[in-house]
Copies of this chain bind each other. A is one copy, B any other.
Amino acid sequence: MKTLVILSGGMDSTTLVYDLVNQGDEVVCLSFNYGQRHSKELECAKKTCEKLKIEHHIVDISNIHKIVMSQNSLTGNKEVPEGHYADETMKQTIVPYRNAIMLMIAAGTASTLNFDRVAYAAHSGDHAIYPDCRPEFVLATKLVMMLGDYKQVELYTPYIKIPKANIVNKGLQLNVPYEDTWSCYKGGEKHCGKCGTCVERLEAFKLNRMKDPVEYD
């Protein structure tokens, strides 16, 4: 299988890359610069691809539209909220249609490269806050990909119904070097340990009775 992976540089998509390489897929990775505060994740994505000797493209969509990017806390003028990932305040971290835009660019790339599928690491912990990580969104996106192009590129989302702790469990078995991943939305020197994605990350390691190898403030 030839698979184009959307690699953020976080834990889930990095695990997915190791998972697919382990399965013998021919993998190419696509990352997106959308003006995120935590652009450190892109350095991690690059490192992972270098280690695995995988072709890597970073697509700059930060200027695609100032309006879309202006009113949220990942790219815009709002502060990154602290607390649990499932809290209502986390809605400030929604960049509307971010995933749909990325998926369509990835699908267009896969179609042009004659690749079989696009892989995307949304997981069940994302569902509470992010509608564009839910199974029904994935299903609708699959339909667009079947109907909007002559080449029927598949959308592969193997983690869509499993929680983050299980992804980490799989990654630990695959010896994924989690020190090469970045989660914190604040994008500081070290992980803050307080924002939703840090809290979720720490919880996933704790449930696996393992210590997270990244440093915290």
Contacts and interface: CB of A to CB of B under 8 A. Distances in A.
A210 to B, nearest CB: 33
- Of the four ranges (under 10, 10 to 19, 20 to 34, 35 or more), the interface on chain A belongs to 35 or more
Main secondary structure of the interface of A (DSSP, over half): helix
The complex is assembled from copies of this chain, and their number is: 2
Interface string A134-176: 1011001101101111110000000000000000000000000
21 contacts: A57-B67, A60-B64, A67-B112, A68-B111, A71-B112, A94-B150, A96-B108, A96-B112, A97-B105, A97-B107, A97-B111, A97-B148, A97-B149, A98-B108, A99-B148, A131-B149, A131-B150, A132-B148, A140-B148, A141-B144, A141-B148
Contact of A147 (B65, B107, B140, B146): B140
A113 B67 CA distance: 8
